[in-house]
Amino acid sequence: GGPSLSELASLEPLPHARVELRHAAAEPDRLYGAGLEAYREGDWKQATTEFEAALALAQNDWTRRAQAQLYRGSAMLLDGRVDEAVPVLEQAGEARLAPVRERARWHLAQAHLLLDDAGGAERALQELAASPVFGERARGLLERLQAQR
């Protein structure tokens, strides 16, 4: 047997831009900004709390919903709450915005590796195989996974 699946996982925080909020920003946007601030500082628990609060208050058509789900799932994953992160990342992986969708699926693949779930990791990676951003890494990781079978 080669390395365990969890040794194939690579966890890195998402890129994050500062969010400039207008003085009268709506509460979900303010909470989202606070979540990003905590995320940037590596305070995964606080970030998760802020993103969850933003999502709870936001309307269904909130423009940052998919990003908030992605960062929430990533923060949970980085905090070691892998099982809880999976459904959150799955939801973010259905986003219309390709950058959000692909980042969510990459993090989802890492979560499945950490959970020793080769099938789940392969599904997430296959969805990324054609990605201009993650394709090369996804195909490389798929090869390593299949070589362990």
Q: Pick from 54, 10, 22, 20: which is nearest to 35 by CA? A: 54
What's the pLDDT at 112? Answer: 97
Q: What is the tens place of the pLDDT at every residue in 37-94?
A: 999 999 999 999 999 999 999 999 999 999 999 999 999 999 999 999 999 999 999 9
Q: Please tell me the distance from the alpha carbon of residue 43 to that of residue 28, in angstroms, as a whole number.
A: 19
- pLDDT of 1 > 60? The answer is no
Share of the chain above pLDDT 70, in %: 93
| Three-point CA angle 63, 66, 70, nearest 5° | 140
Within 10 angstroms of residue 91's Cβ, the number of other Cβ atoms is 16
- pLDDT of 117 > 70? The answer is yes
What's the pLDDT at 17? Answer: 65
**Spatial CB neighbours of 78, under 8 Å, sequence gap ≥ 6:** 11, 13, 42, 44
DSSP assignment string, 26-62: -HHHHHHHHHHHHHHTT-HHHHHHHHHHHHHHS-TT-
Q: Please tell me the distance from the alpha carbon of residue 12 to that of residue 49, in angstroms, as a whole number.
A: 20
- pLDDT of 145 > 70? The answer is yes
What count of residues does the chain have?
149
Check: pTM over 0.75? Answer yes or no. Answer: yes
Q: What is the tens place of the pLDDT at every residue in 5-20?
A: 878 888 888 877 666 6
For the residues 98-124, what does the mean pLDDT come to?
96
What's the pLDDT at 88? Answer: 98
